[in-house]
A and B are shown apart, each in its own frame.
Chain A
Amino acid sequence: MPKDNGIGASPKRREDVRFLTGRGQYTDDIKLKNQCQAMFVRSQVANGVIKSIDTSVAAGMPGVLAIFTGEDFTEVGGNPAGWLINSRDGEPMKEPKRPVLAHGKVRHVGDAYAAVIAETHEQALDAAEAIDADIDELPAVIDMADALANTDNLVHDEIETNQCFDWGWIEDNRAATDEAIKNAPHVTTLELVNNRLVPNAMETRASTGDYNPGTGDYTLYTTSQNPHLTRLLISAFVMGIPENKLTIIAPDVGGGFGSKIYHYGEEALVLAASKKLGRPVAWTATRSEAFLTDAHGRDHKTTIELATDKEGNFLAIRTSTLANVGAYLSNFSTVTPTFLHGTVISGNYTVPHIYVNLKAVFTNTAPVDAYRGAGRPEATYSVERVIDKCARELGMSPLEIRRKNFIKKEQFPFATAAGLEYDSGDYHALVDKLEEIADFKGFAARKAESASRGLLRGLGVNTYVEACGLAPSNLAGVLGARVGLFEAATVRVNATGNISVMTGSHSHGQGHETVFPQLVADMLGMSADDIDIVHGDTSKIPFGMGTYGSRSMSVGGSAIVKATEKIIDKASKIAAHMMEAGEGDIEFNDGVFSVTGTDKSVSFPEVAFKAYVPHDYPHDKLEPGLEETAFYDPANFTYPSGAYACEVEVDPETGKVTVCSMAAADDVGNVINPMIVEGQIQGGLGQGIGQALVENCVYNDDGQLLTGSYMDYTMPRADDLPFFTTDQTTLTPCTHNPLGAKGCGEAGAIGSPPTVINAVVDALSDLGVTHIDMPASPARVWAAIQAAS
């Protein structure tokens, strides 16, 4: 039985007390003495040449302290892409500079070309409006196919086309895949769109720069998922501030979903402005700025072909995709559509031949980067949609065709044709579990009942496998990563026996402050209440690569386990000394060190006290203190998987889709806190349903964002979602990390969009509809019904 707050228990989230009582401390809550305000002047046009910027009027306005333009940053570096991707011909990707402020050209609506610092927010706003820029508008590059075809109109003049790279995965598999498709008895082809999304974290981005002229130290308070990574980017690439002179503090952060992984120009600006003025400089994005400038997600156009024999055995998959990277390369923008997408095209299946081609395209839109799931939702959607279509063409049930092609339990570890080695999984068991929880047998009756009310009912199913727990540094390095992807932790046992754990895994909604203490408590046999987590401050924690890619438990948690093992190791030595026994005779169970075969024992707090009060201490053998740091680098990705089912009702008169039920059987490996895992799964399902049915980021041909507020960008709301039926008991532990955990943060968002669309298409299949693009909005569904009938 799990302890009430150890591994397997579900204590309530301790951080919620402060969040729910208004005691959180977000970046905008931090008011530093003498703080002044920054305001950005942003482009109203998508593409234009900056002829001149007249700041003279603004400079003389009340309260104005400084004005910056792109000119002021020509000597500093650009914000880089974190992964170097090579094209099929071996050429490295095109990497135009991403400046702190636009210089020479503006490249998307919202691109900042000037910034005003003033005493108050209102004064900065007044002055920002008084800045007079002469910008020659150019035609906007928006449509990806047009962008590739038209080289007269460029997002970046210094590169000759709008193509960032043309990637093949795996290029050596191309000929065999082509051949297999050419000779296949059956090929199902599907063209689909993975709709562009705006992340919409509840807290908008905010940054406060604080330079201390007395010490030369910089502090940046910012909304980051990974403060050390931000420090590294600012220090090594953008501003050259030495890492030892720069502290990044990401305090409470209200959600990120990927959008706060990245370093943004506003962070560099407030640091530079603080240096110039010798005062703290603060900025908080409005919601409009968030829509215009947070890195967006998804935005793929894909053609996928699935070749099978007549019995539905998969022979080959080939995909061709255009991926929008927007106007500038954001930090993870090149790895997301490539290695986080192409490598999981094999899905849960044995597919002998796989070839993925992906062209990344610059457009005059906001940068596009990793967003909850990051590449894997795009792959899963393509594969699971084409399988569904194939099953209909072959007259097979969607479960039958999947079961037939699953990788079998006994085949693990399994090397796919897309270049990954899945360590563990049991996909047949997941589908069996899904059948149990989703009540497929009752569907026909429910469909008839819906029909009696004039509604079309559909059932959609699919499976997914994803690669997360980012990432083995050696493999990432081979694939072009410019950083390592380990995680670090320090476990500090205080003299009185309580513990502080410093982790590089930043928590911005995940519940780390609750779940990480459970690990340490379980290992040390103590109460989690005596353990606290410290995160989000580069001056307090050893290092960290941050939170994304469902890596916090499998990588960050493993680092904590490793550091705690070191604590136990050292404490055992102290205990051996205390009990005058040999180290090899010491046992540690439930917080008590004992000598094998005797009744001698000392408790963990007694050992901790001895470590800090080392009277009678073997200084020749042991150092005082009880604090250990560990870095953990995973041996492989982790591979969560799942099987989902969804039932929808479609109103054929209005096209409105209602999600009636959603069942999710997930294998996320070993579970530390079932309640938190359940919350992560449910949140992901909600986000996936949002993508499938309502969310859509749309630019018009002029590059104006049509969905720039909640009046037009639809977020899923509680009444859009059904009660979820979930299960995480069909688990196969990860084989290569000490916890056996695989990750659960992105699973729901990866697995659920195809489930919903498969259900909508199923509902409309009698009318002859074979596909509908996301989001399946009422107008789009109605139009599809009209077109079919």
Chain B
Amino acid sequence: MHNFDFEKPSTVADAVAALASEDAQALAGGQTLIPTLKQRLAAPSKLVSLTGIADLQGISHSDGVLTIGAATTHVEVAAGGYGSLSVLAGNIGDPAVRNRGTIGGSLANNDPSADYPAAVLATGATINTNARSIKADDFFDGIFTTALEEGEIITSVAFPIPEASCYEKFEQPASRFALVGVCVAKMAGGVRVAVTGASEEGVHRWREAETALNANFSADAIADLSVSADGLISDLHGTPKYRANLVKVLTARAVANC
């Protein structure tokens, strides 16, 4: 690890100010950033911890919307009893990761195999930042890339509560990230299907399945659909064809388990 300065502000405004210095980097739970620093693969001049800001903490529920502070850890979401979202959070990483990792950190990082992006996209959640509110459909912008501007901080995520939802994750055996994960959410405005782990473009919606499921919300509805292997990830743990198969299998299972 290289040397860096460290700040732990208590307000969003102070955090934004601290991040203005050159090569400063926000630090949430640190579950990706700290290992990267330890391997000397990044050398920020300053780390700005977001975990001391009260406004980024906590979970509230009103008018059919569940709002989760960006610095809320996975264990807190897992323990909240929020249906499939809690199940998803409770199966991220291991206990050490879940006790440090945060929802805001996960979304800002946008790892192509992370779990949270699937739930955010499937529910059409809103990502609130210090500057604006961003719709999920506009937020994810390819792997490890988001609509966030330099120095912009996620403050909370607002999930419209679905009529029914399910996240089916097939674990990459080593890392236990999602080799493929599919989140199906039956929203007031229709069914949304989001896929993580599969595509070289990161999390994305499977719109053909959404159309089919809007007509008939059952696993059989997607039986005749096929998933193209083009543009899907190829690595040690799965070929594009294998991932394409998993997308369909997991979608069917998610629908059946909704």
Contacts and interface: CB of A to CB of B under 8 A. Distances in A.
Interface string A145-169: 0000000000000000000000000
Nearest to A655: B242
Interface in A689-721: 694, 696, 698, 706-707, 710-715
A778 interface: yes
Interface in B210-243: 236-239, 242
A187 B85 CA distance: 56
Given A654-B170, A694-B174, A696-B236, 9 more contacts: A288-B39, A654-B245, A656-B170, A707-B174, A711-B175, A778-B179, A779-B237, A779-B242, A782-B242
B28 to A, nearest CB: 20
A129 B2 CA distance: 12
A129 B40 CA distance: 10
Nearest to A651: B249
A134 interface: no
A653 interface: yes
A694 B39 CA distance: 26
A654 B249 contact: yes
Interface string B111-135: 0000000000000000000000000
B93 to A, nearest CB: 11
A710 B93 CA distance: 12
Contacts of B236: 696, 698, 706-707, 712
A711 B177 CA distance: 9
28 contacts: A125-B40, A288-B39, A653-B245, A654-B246, A654-B249, A655-B242, A694-B174, A696-B236, A698-B236, A707-B236, A710-B174, A710-B175, A711-B174, A712-B175, A712-B236, A714-B173, A777-B237, A778-B173, A778-B179, A778-B238, A778-B242, A779-B237, A779-B238, A779-B239, A779-B242, A782-B245, A783-B239, A783-B242
Contacts of B170: 654, 656, 778
Interface string B74-114: 00000000000000000000000000000000000000000
Interface in A741-787: 777-779, 782-783
A402 to B, nearest CB: 32
Interface centre among A288, A778, A779 (most CB of B within 10 A): A779
Nearest to B239: A779
Q: Chain B, interface size: which category?
A: 10 to 19
Contact of A713 (B39, B40, B174): B174
Contacts of B173: 694, 714, 777-778
Nearest to B177: A711
A707 B237 CA distance: 11
Interface string B169-182: 01001110001000
A453 to B, nearest CB: 13
Contacts of B39: 288
A125 B39 CA distance: 11
Contacts of A707: 174, 236
Contacts of A656: 170
A777 B246 CA distance: 14
Nearest to B242: A779
Contacts of B239: 779, 783
Interface of B: 39-40, 170, 173-175, 179, 236-239, 242, 245-246, 249
Contacts of A778: 170, 173, 179, 238, 242
B246 A714 contact: no
B174 A714 contact: yes
Nearest to B175: A711
A782 B242 CA distance: 8
B236 to A, nearest CB: 6
A655 B242 CA distance: 10
A650 B40 CA distance: 41
A653, A694, A715 pick with most chain B CB within 10 angstroms: A653
A653 B179 CA distance: 14
B151 to A, nearest CB: 29
A706 B174 CA distance: 12
Contacts of A710: 174-175
Contacts of B249: 653-654
Nearest to A712: B174
A783 B236 CA distance: 13
Contacts of A714: 173-174
Nearest to A652: B249
B12 to A, nearest CB: 33
A707 B238 CA distance: 14
A710 B177 CA distance: 12
A291 to B, nearest CB: 12
Contacts of A698: 236
A777 B235 CA distance: 13
B45 to A, nearest CB: 17
B202 to A, nearest CB: 18
A416 to B, nearest CB: 38
Nearest to B173: A714
Q: Identify the interface centre among B175, B179, B236, B239: most chain A CB within 10 Å of its CB.
A: B236
Contacts of A782: 242, 245
A653 B252 CA distance: 11
A302 B174 CA distance: 27
A783 B239 CA distance: 9
A693 to B, nearest CB: 8
Interface string A674-699: 00000000000000000000101010
B226 to A, nearest CB: 14
A655 to B, nearest CB: 8
A386 to B, nearest CB: 28
Nearest to A694: B173
A511 to B, nearest CB: 28
A456 to B, nearest CB: 15
Contacts of B174: 694, 707, 710-715
Contacts of A653: 245, 249
A694 B249 CA distance: 22
B240 to A, nearest CB: 11
Give me the 10 closest cross-chain CB pairs, A-B, nearest first: A714-B174, A714-B173, A711-B175, A779-B238, A653-B249, A779-B242, A712-B174, A694-B173, A782-B242, A706-B236
A654 B39 CA distance: 34
Nearest to A720: B173
Contacts of B245: 653-654, 782
Residue among A125, A288, A654, A656 with most chain B CB within 10 A: A654
A611 B107 CA distance: 76
Contacts of A694: 173-174
B39 to A, nearest CB: 8
B253 to A, nearest CB: 9
A558 B174 CA distance: 42
Nearest to A777: B173
B191 to A, nearest CB: 22
A782 B170 CA distance: 13
Contacts of A654: 170, 245-246, 249
A109 to B, nearest CB: 15
Nearest to A710: B174
Contacts of A713: 174
A40 to B, nearest CB: 15
Interface in A438-497: none
B5 to A, nearest CB: 16
A125 B236 CA distance: 31
Nearest to A780: B242
A428 B239 CA distance: 44
Contacts of B246: 654
B31 to A, nearest CB: 12
A654 B172 CA distance: 12
A597 to B, nearest CB: 69
B221 to A, nearest CB: 17
A711 B113 CA distance: 12
Nearest to B1: A122
A461 B175 CA distance: 31
A595 B239 CA distance: 79
A288 B39 CA distance: 10
Nearest to A713: B174
Nearest to B250: A654
